[in-house]
Amino acid sequence: MINLKKGQKNSDFQYYISNEYKAKVLASLCDDQLVDVILTRPTYKVRYVPRNTFVEPVCITFRPLGNLLFCRDQQITTQKGVVLGSTNTWPREMEHIIMKQVFQNLKVDIISEMPLEAFLEGGDFFVAKEDLCMLGVGTRTNVEAADFLMKNDLLGTKRFAMVYDETDRNQQRMHLDTFFNILSPQHAVVLDFEELSKINGRYINRKVYLYSKDPTMINSDNKIIPNNSGDYNLIKIFDDFYSYLQYEKYELVKVSNKQQEEYMINFLNIGNNRVISVNPHLKDLIQNSNVNDIEIIDINFDAVVKLYGAVHCATQVSRSIK
């Protein structure tokens, strides 16, 4: 808020509200102070006064960046490269701009950015196989983002599975990585939706819409989900998540609702059948499920878990291996 009527002819006032002065102030700050400015994002509202410095602060507000710890959400890394996402939550809408600068500093190419109304968060994305990637659509990521990825050929895989939430929409299961994870090329850990449905007294699951660049069976007449997008065609619809995972030949290790709330699913697969886990009971679950040759590395991540996320949320792929 600037009173230009009274201040527009005052050269001192004009200087103090100019970009030249702002740049001079920022240039005088040390690195720690600059980080504080970025994280707190102060806004000064000023007005003209006919004395002293001729400018007076009216109000100073802050809009802090409070969630940069969970650095998976601001983007995804497909088989083609980094795609900057967009959040549909007001407190986090600036985070992708910060991560864009981070990737530029790391000299990591950004192949695309989400347009307006296309919301995409990294916790919803998995590269599952060489020819397959998966995207959760529901509470955070929307259909428009999935459509944009396909239309612009940003995925780098022949097949694309949209895991669609139409029966749940719960913050506890807001991202795909809160109820599903890949333990090995043959095994997937997944929430027990049957138990969850009993607890809530209603059916809860996920539909899966499978797209392919090499269609063999095309579905039609779906009003919500596009039947085709770019070179991708909808080839099959699965009414529940288990049926789809079994179609992909995954052996399923089911996790209870309580175990899911304790972040058992939010582990990090680092390859070669090695997994970093924040829940020490994942090891017991794997052994009881007769899954062999998986090394579970337990770490204490309690400080981060208290912030409503775990090791998968806090880790982001910066480059794909082709």
Taken in order of first residue, the domains within the chain and their CATH numbers are: 4-62 (no CATH), 75-305 (3.75.10.10)
Euclidean distance between CA atoms 143 and 11, whole angstroms:
52
Q: Looking at the predicted structure, is the pLDDT value of residue 205 above 90?
A: yes
User: pLDDT tens digits, residue range 299-315?
Assistant: 999 999 998 999 999 99
User: pLDDT tens digits, residue range 16-27?
Assistant: 999 999 999 999
The pTM assigned to this predicted structure is 0.88
Residue 308 and residue 314 in contact, taking contact as beta carbons nearer than 8 Å: no
Find, among 176, 139, 203, 137, the residue nearest to 265 by Cα.
Answer: 176
DSSP H/E element including 21 = helix 19-27
Tell me the pLDDT band of 10, cut-offs 50, 70 and 90: confident
Neighbouring residues of 167: CB distance < 8 A, sequence distance ≥ 6: 202, 203, 204, 205, 206
* Residue 170: both structure tokens together: 């719960």
* Residue 294: both structure tokens together: 């998986």
- Range name among 33-37, 47-51, 217-221 with the lowest pLDDT average: 217-221
Find, among 197, 203, 224, the residue nearest to 137 by Cα.
Answer: 224
Q: Looking at the predicted structure, is the pLDDT value of residue 92 above 90?
A: no
Tell me the pLDDT band of 6, cut-offs 50, 70 and 90: low
User: pLDDT tens digits, residue range 122-148?
Assistant: 999 999 999 999 999 999 999 999 999
Q: Looking at the predicted structure, is the pLDDT value of residue 157 above 60?
A: yes
